[in-house]
Amino acid sequence: MIPTTSEAYKLMHEGTLVLSDIESNGMRIDLNYCRKKKIEIAQTIKDLTERVMNDHNVLRWQKREGIKFKLGSPQQLASTLYNHMGLIPTKETATGQPSTDKEALADLNVAFIKDLLDIKKWEKVNNTYLENIIKETDENGILHPVFNLHIPVTYRSSSNSPNFQNMPVRDPVIAKAVRSAFIPRNGRHFTEFDYSSLEVGISVCYHKDPTMFRYCSDPASDMHRDIAFDCYLIDKDMITKPLRQSVKGGFVFSQFYGSYYKQCAELMWKDITISNYLLADGTPLMTHLKKKKLNTYTRFERHLKKLEDDLWNNRFPIYSQWKDENEELYHKQGYIITKTGFKLGGNMSRNDVNNYPIQGSAFHCLLWSLIEVHKWLKKNKMRTKIIGQIHDSIVMDIHKSELQEVLTMTRHISTTLLKKHWAWIITPLELDAEVSPLGMSWFDKKDYIIPALNL
């Protein structure tokens, strides 16, 4: 870790102390729920296993081969799918053999494959998430995840014992199974504060692309909606939230972090064919794409190639130019200095050179806010506790009598005071909050309107 200013050193020094307090606070775990859920999931796995073993394709393979089918054998699974059933593999291993990894299996429309994938998913919930939560929870029912500042080369944070920053969220069924284990202390609300599009805004502070600056500054604009219009050739009033999200992750952020059109097309096409997206009027996306002559992968890939060219040469040319200039600076001097005063050096790829400063500086916005909110809570002898953080979010146990005050002050510190502290932040900062009903779990949190602060 190489801070280039005393202020940068102070940020990491104070941040380490605050994170140690947060680790000491810990978060309450419903151990009874965890143990009961593990038993329930074990039964689900047993039922799915029986269904797989009784599938007619598996039974016919066993009869032909004269051996019992093993769920954990990639060789036997490949033999069943590609030799016995005659399916065409969509992916190969490094040695040129038909792949049976998660991505390859997801492409196959086979009933027992869905069950196999569900088995793997539930085994991970039991053996990775719930088991580690139970193992690491102390005798008082408090989990104390470790938060590190000295490991990631991006100057972000990491977590272990267990990794609180990697709890499932995208799959609602899996998220519910795991996040329901995290409950607030008595008389408190489990609350999560989350910066809105923080890394996009911080990236503008580096490259100063005027188009992206307008997107970040105008609440009425929506970059992801506009690019979804271009990706799918849909009228903007036909774009649904799932379609917007598909473009946000599959194309926009992928492009910003250094991917290219072919990789984006492969991921998005797989997502499109699996997810059965609908337009706002109920029209299937694939039906719409057929009308636009984008209903084959080859056509869709060519379309994204043109869109990629437009993205960097017409829509965000200043951002594109900054990437070239930033990489040239790194090769000239051997390092990059972040806005927050840290040196990034060593062997870095083009993507590393252009992504690490943004990711690190965005997290430092969270870290500075975390430190200041922690100071404010201690100074005012609040009963509310900060119990975790996830890169661009702060997680708290907020006492019911302090909810409104903590909400307003946390947003004030994390937006208004942060911008006063670092004048290089030229884009607006927004902090959203999700609050669980009193005594309810992390999974049960809902969007909450933060009241205005009366100074």
Q: Are 7 and 424 in contact (CB under 8 A)?
A: no
**3-state secondary structure (DSSP) of residue 145:** coil
160-164: list long-range contacts, CB under 8 Å, 24+ apart: 161/136, 162/129, 162/132, 162/133, 162/136, 164/27, 164/388, 164/390
The residues, any chain, with a CB within 8 Å of residue 73's CB and separated by 6 or more, are none
Looking at residues 368-386, what average pLDDT do you find?
A: 98
pLDDT at 95: 82
Among 139-153, 254-268, 270-284, the minimum mean pLDDT is found in: 270-284
Q: Are 49 and 70 in contact (CB under 8 A)?
A: no
pLDDT band at 89 (very low <50, low <70, confident <90, very high): confident
Q: Are 437 and 426 in contact (CB under 8 A)?
A: no
State phi, psi for 109 to the nearest 5 degrees: -90, 75
Q: Which two tokens stand for residue 184?
A: 């607030």
Instruction: List the Cα angle 410/184/376 in 5-degree steps.
Output: 25
User: Is residue 94 predicted with pLDDT exceeding 80?
Assistant: no
Beta bridge mates, 385? 397
Q: Are 369 and 414 in contact (CB under 8 A)?
A: yes
Cβ burial, residue 193 (10 Å; 0-12/13-18/19+): buried
Separation between Cα atoms, residue 266 and residue 61, nearest integer Å: 32
Element containing residue 432 per DSSP (H, E): strand 431-435
Span between the terminal Cα atoms of the chain, in Å: 38
Q: What is the pLDDT of residues 308-339, one digit of tens each?
A: 999 999 999 999 999 999 999 999 999 999 99
Looking at residues 367-375, what average pLDDT do you find?
A: 98
Separation between Cα atoms, residue 79 and residue 65, nearest integer Å: 10
Separation between Cα atoms, residue 150 and residue 143, nearest integer Å: 22
**Identity of residue 163:** N
Q: What percent of the chain has pLDDT over 90?
A: 87
Average pLDDT of the chain to the nearest whole number: 94
pLDDT band at 104 (very low <50, low <70, confident <90, very high): confident
pLDDT at 369: 98
Q: Are 402 and 47 in contact (CB under 8 A)?
A: no
**3-state secondary structure (DSSP) of residue 143:** strand
pLDDT band at 455 (very low <50, low <70, confident <90, very high): low
Looking at residues 192-208, what average pLDDT do you find?
A: 96
What CATH number does the domain located at 33-135 have?
1.20.1060.10
pLDDT band at 34 (very low <50, low <70, confident <90, very high): very high
User: Is residue 106 predicted with pLDDT exceeding 80?
Assistant: no
Separation between Cα atoms, residue 283 and residue 281, nearest integer Å: 6
Q: How many CB atoms lie within 10 A of CB 449?
A: 9
Q: How much is the CA Rg of the chain, to the nearest whole Å?
A: 25
pLDDT at 356: 97
Beta bridge mates, 143? 27, 137
Looking at residues 256-283, what average pLDDT do you find?
A: 91
Give the Å distances, CA to CA, from 306 to 209, 261, 299, 320, 331.
Answer: 21, 9, 11, 16, 30
pLDDT at 111: 85
Cβ burial, residue 343 (10 Å; 0-12/13-18/19+): middle
Domain positions in the chain are 6-26+144-199+361-448, 33-135, 205-358
Separation between Cα atoms, residue 251 and residue 265, nearest integer Å: 8
User: Is residue 305 predicted with pLDDT exceeding 70?
Assistant: yes
Tokens 């050739």 sit on residue: 233
29: left (phi over 0), alpha (psi -120 to 50) or beta: beta
pLDDT band at 1 (very low <50, low <70, confident <90, very high): low
Query: Architecture of 6-26+144-199+361-448 per CATH?
Result: 2-Layer Sandwich (3.30)
